[in-house]
Chains A and B, each alone.
Chain A
Amino acid sequence: METILMLTAVEADGALPKAAQEALGAARDLAGSLAGSTLAVGLWGADVKPAADAIAGCGAAKVYGAVSPDLAPARYATDAAAAEALAKAAGATIVVAPGTSRMARVMPGVSHRLGGKADTHVTAIEAGPDGVAATRWAYRQRIETVVSRTARPWILLLDPGCRAPAAAVPGSATVEAVAVALPPEAKRTVVTGVQAPPAEKQTIRPDAKLLFVAGAGWTKKQAGGAPRLPEAERLILDFLAKTGASLGSSKSLTDQAGEGQAVLGFLSHLNQIGQTGATPRHPKGLATCCHGEEPHTVGWRFITQRRAINLDPNCGWARGKADVLYVADVFEVMAKVNALL
């Protein structure tokens, strides 16, 4: 008999993050598959009532809340204290949490405090006759594993975008207050804000339907014998503006900036996808001028529909991994795509 706790910090406005709604869906499904188990929700932040009300009808036996202005910022020491207190108050044996940057920062440390175990980057949670099992990837999305544990509490951080969010069933929730001790040492760090490029220059859009991947080929010598960087920049930015796509890049392209080579000015390591970058989840992906074998292609492991444009019909990025490979000059094709869009 498990006590399953969906645990998360709420957003600054008290709302529940989308990734937490997905985690709630996973926790609720898990509770439904394990006879005799109980579902609970644990929330912390400056005000948790809006989030609690938004999921009042989710089937949780109890909603626990830790509320304080000191719990608003995403700060390890205070977040860990809140998560620990909530998990203990709920008597959780399984904790399902969203794999956001905030929760990923803190939950492994919390597992240590609780004497339990944590598995991160979980992509699926299932319950069967042999108990609960979690799917996660090792070696940066190259080997798939399914893991089970007897240790409790077992903390599972579900990667965002792996499942549908729980349907909102709003109402008026009763939140059981949980006290969190926050000594002055817990506030040695002050979160001062968020640094981001201006909205019109932001090229990373996690909620976009399309991921556009730019490879190093964009910066290489073209048919005319010289690189066409200004044209490449214009084509890519024009495409992003017209489609609202998110921009990913291969490692080789972002590395060129560090090596002092000519690069696309709007790219940074934050755009990098693949084995040493991000593995974003978008419904569609269009890879352009990308080359490489398996280690380089893990960046679009979780892209549902994949197409590629490349001059090499045997490109390892695409063969067997993309649905369609267009063998063509990307400059020519993208100019015409932009015109059509």
Chain B
Amino acid sequence: MATSYAIVVCGGIVPDPLQTLEPVMTPGGPGLKNEMMLPAVLDPWAACALYEAAALAKKAPGSKVWLASLGPKAKLQQVMMTVAQKVPFELVALDGSSGGFTDAAETAAALAEAIQAVPGLDRNRMLLFGGWESASRGAGATLQILGELLGIRDQFQGVDAVEPQADGSLRVLERVEGGRHQVSVCQGPPAVFGWATGSLAEPPNNPQVGMANMRAVMPALQRAKPAKIGSGGAVFRKVALPQQQRQTRIVKDQTADQIAKEIAEWIRQD
């Protein structure tokens, strides 16, 4: 494989999925109760993208991985302490809100500006990675808009595999309806890939990688430019937890035969 890549992974930070979330109204719009106190993680699908980027870079000598992340600086620092131990990357940090009520286009614009300012980034070799949706806004919109801002017209979403071919092209598997994958061949970089789960497990912590990464992570965090991300003109008329609570009928005194009969009848009903 002769091609080397400049892989930029865009990944925000989100509240740990196991946390209880409660929406509140703030002077700046909707937010989460105690948002700054909630433990945060790298967005799950963006994390998959980061691991795939590192694996691809390892297979293509001369490649490099950047992680562009927008979030409150203090939270970014906390998350990077863990993420930096996973795979080698250089952090591009932006200090701003990463909440679920912010605007995808404003986020994309801030990321585009930061990526364009990365020294030595060859955009002709660039593969723009990220999660196909965040676990916060969940829109699946930021990467497409970012690609447009960077002039990249080969875009893929719900990606589970990117396989470099001998001629420099990239074979891509994208999730489509019905548990299937669309197969495409892209001539090569630049291209945008919004990753689904991919095929790699989370790498174990590697203290050596962590130490190497952290030497650059801390200065990157200190350099993080403030990014004012708002709601993009959206007016939130309602922000609420779902109220529906079902009255669950607990069946614990029936035999397996009785339960099976009830389930079978329920399945047969239209």
How many interface residues does A have (CB within 8 Å)? 97
Contact between B139 and A120, CB atoms less than 8 A apart: yes
Question: Which one of B136, B154, B180, B182 lies within 8 Å of A139 (CB-CB)?
Answer: B136
Query: By the criterion CB–CB under 8 Å, are B139 and A108 in contact?
Result: yes
A252 part of interface (Cβ distance < 8 Å): no
Q: Which residues of B contact A100 (CB under 8 A)?
A: 177
Taking the complex as formed, is A91 at the interface, i.e. its CB lies under 8 A from any CB of chain B? no
Majority DSSP secondary structure for residues of B touching A:
mixed
Given contacts A76-B156, A139-B100, A328-B259, contact A321 B148 (CB under 8 A): no
Docked Cα-Cα span, A191 to B184, in Å, equals 4
Q: Chain A at the B interface: mostly helix, strand, loop or mixed?
A: mixed
The reply to whether A333 and B263 contact each other, CB–CB distance below 8 Å, is yes
Number of A-B contacts (CB under 8 A): 268
CB distance from A92 to the nearest CB of B (A): 18
The interface residues of chain B lying within 8 Å CB-to-CB of A108 are 104, 139-142, 144-145
- The number of chain B residues touching the other chain, given as a range, is 35 or more
B166 contacts the other chain (CB 8 A): no
**Also in contact, A149 and B233, with CB within 8 A (given A295-B17, A336-B260):** yes
Question: Which one, A31-39, A55-63, A225-233, A269-277, is touching chain B?
Answer: A269-277
User: Which of A151, A322, A336 contacts B246, CB < 8 Å?
Assistant: A322
Q: Which of chain A's residues has its CB closest to B172's CB?
A: A189
Contacts of A325 in B (CB 8 A): 248-251
Residues of A within 8 A of B101 (CB): 138, 145
- B154 touching A76, Cβ below 8 Å: yes
A234 at the interface (CB under 8 A from B): no
| Residue B257 CB within 8 A of the other chain | yes
Q: When each residue 148-176 of chain B gets 1 if its CB lies under 8 Å from chain A and 0 otherwise, what string results?
A: 11000111111010000000000001111
**Chain B: residues with CB nearer than 8 A to chain A?**
14-15, 17-18, 20-21, 23, 30, 44-45, 100-101, 103-105, 108, 135-142, 144-145, 147-149, 153-158, 160, 173-187, 196-197, 199-202, 232-242, 245-252, 254, 256-257, 259-264, 266-267
Please list 5 pairs of residues, one from A and one from B, whose beta carbons are closer than 8 Å in the complex, sorted by A's number: A101-B175, A191-B183, A284-B266, A318-B248, A336-B259
Chain A contact residues, CB within 8 Å of chain B? 74-77, 80, 100-102, 104-106, 108-109, 111-113, 117-121, 130, 133, 137-151, 185-186, 188-197, 202-206, 210, 243, 255, 258-259, 269-272, 275-276, 284, 286, 293-295, 301, 305-307, 309, 313, 318-329, 332-334, 336-337, 339-341
